[in-house]
Amino acid sequence: MADDNRVLSWRELLSSKFRLATLTLALSIALYATNFFIFATLAPSVVNDIGGLDLMSWATTVFVVTSIVSSAAGGMIKAWLGSRRSLVLSTIVFALGSVITAASPTMEVVLLGRVVQGLGAGLLTAYSHSMVREMFPAASWPRMFAVVSGGWGVAALSGPLIGGIFAEFDIWRWGFGAMAIAACLFIPVSLRAVQPGGGGETGNAWGAVARLSLLGGAALILGGLGKVSLPGGDISLITVSVALLLTAILWERQTIRPLFPRDMFRPATALGGGVIFVFGITFATTPTAIYGPLLFRAIHDIPLITTGYIVTAQSMFWTIAAIVFSNLSRKASRFACIAGTMIVILGVLGTSQFLPRGPLWAAIAGISTIGFGIGLAWGHIGRFVLEAAGEQDKNRVGTVMPTMQVIGIAFGSSVAGLIANANGFDRTLTEGTAEAVAHWIYLGLAPAAVVSLVGAIRVATETRTPIGRSL
């Protein structure tokens, strides 16, 4: 299949040969993404029922931390168990976490459930990217990344609605129970779609566990911003977090048993460029999901439910661009990597000007432009990242984009929080404060988008030719 240079049509992807594989890929992403949006919608109902408001922010933090750790460990676990058993394991863990959350009598148990959910969700996202490489022709990889984007787009629209229904009838536990049921229904689909085999690799895993601990520690410390007090404040926490992350990266580069592909942290390679792109682009575009609803409401006086769907414009235009531009030639794919990133930069700068000052349509256009640019570039960056991995890294390459995406979100949200609080967000949110926050969080994070352009150029200009293929 790797030698097939033909891009599969959408009809072929739904044919008997690829239907199960396409469905498995879409559902694996939909499970993760829908859970993300449902939890955000149900969180107030959880607090109203069992209390624990002071711990609620940790529910997202521990989920992100364990997602990072399990996503990074995905290649190692896959090498041990093989693709099929690893995918089933991740789904079972996700379902178990959903059941624990649904049955929680206290917020402390909710946190435990979210830890387990995060472990399963991180593995699911890592294996979804591995499935793109293993189950579809190389020329169709951008199209399959469009399927992944489509899963996020559908979840962005349906997740808040589904969660809202459970919240409206005061049955929030059934919302998480529904996620557990959906995960259980996904297992037989994945068993039919993914062939048994693979795995069996053994070796000393203590070094890998230590590096995973460093990654998890870095993410957990970031999650503590605004929640714990240390001498030097939040700057100290960020410094310690960066130090732990750099230690993990330097150790990873030297080890003989890496968690990630060999070239992942080498900026001069296509893999290294892909890492820079994913980290920078997610870092720079995080504010929309976190602050968008509140800022649109405070500045433009829009009902909260309406602002929630306005903010999904970024996700929807990501999905639209990914689908529309999924069938490009190799040369055009390289151009899309750079052009998409430049569009994101324009969108970030435009949003920093129009969200605080209006008009409303221009602010919506700004976040839509961000999403369009990401969608244009993302799948083609993914194509070249997957191609750049050699045979020795085939089990590990699926971890690259999802791991760096979550790390980028973690660091981006933390820096955005510092900028927002410096402009008065942690005090009374007046219209003037909201305008200042809206301007500076996008403008302050814009340099990360410029850094992502450096990575996109590196990927697009990489001259290495995949084995068995020609330019």
471 residues of the chain, pLDDT tens digit each: 444 567 788 888 888 888 888 888 888 888 888 887 788 778 888 888 998 877 777 887 888 888 888 888 888 888 788 888 889 999 999 999 999 999 999 999 999 999 999 999 988 888 888 888 888 888 888 888 888 888 877 787 777 778 878 887 889 999 999 999 999 999 998 888 888 766 556 555 667 778 888 888 888 887 776 665 656 667 778 888 889 888 988 888 888 777 788 788 888 888 889 999 999 999 999 888 878 877 888 898 887 667 767 878 888 899 899 999 988 888 899 999 999 999 999 999 999 999 999 899 999 999 999 999 999 999 999 989 888 877 677 767 777 888 888 888 888 888 888 888 888 876 777 888 889 999 999 999 999 999 999 999 999 987 444 433 433
197 neighbors 84 (Cβ within 8 angstroms): yes
Q: The whole model's pTM is what?
A: 0.82
* Single-letter amino acid code for the residue at 7: V
451 neighbors 276 (Cβ within 8 angstroms): yes
The answer, yes or no, to whether the previous bond of 137 is cis (omega within 30 of 0) is no
* Single-letter amino acid code for the residue at 190: S
What is the Cα–Cα distance from 35 to 156, expressed in whole angstroms?
Answer: 10
110 neighbors 59 (Cβ within 8 angstroms): yes
Q: 274 is written with which tokens?
A: 């892909």
* Single-letter amino acid code for the residue at 309: Y
Task: Please give the CATH architecture assigned to the domain spanning 262-463.
Answer: Up-down Bundle (1.20)
The reply to whether domains 16-198 and 262-463 share a CATH topology is yes
* CATH classification code of 16-198: 1.20.1250.20
Domain ranges within the chain, ordered by starting residue: 16-198, 204-256, 262-463
Residue of 148, 122, 4 whose CA lies nearest to 67: 122
HSE-CB of 180 using CA atoms within 13 angstroms: 18
What is the Cα–Cα distance from 7 to 146, expressed in whole angstroms?
Answer: 13
What is the Cα–Cα distance from 141 to 269, expressed in whole angstroms?
Answer: 20
359 alpha-carbon distance from chain centroid: 30
- Give the dihedral sign, CA 259/262/266/272: negative
Residue 188 makes CB contacts below 8 A (sequence gap 6+) with none
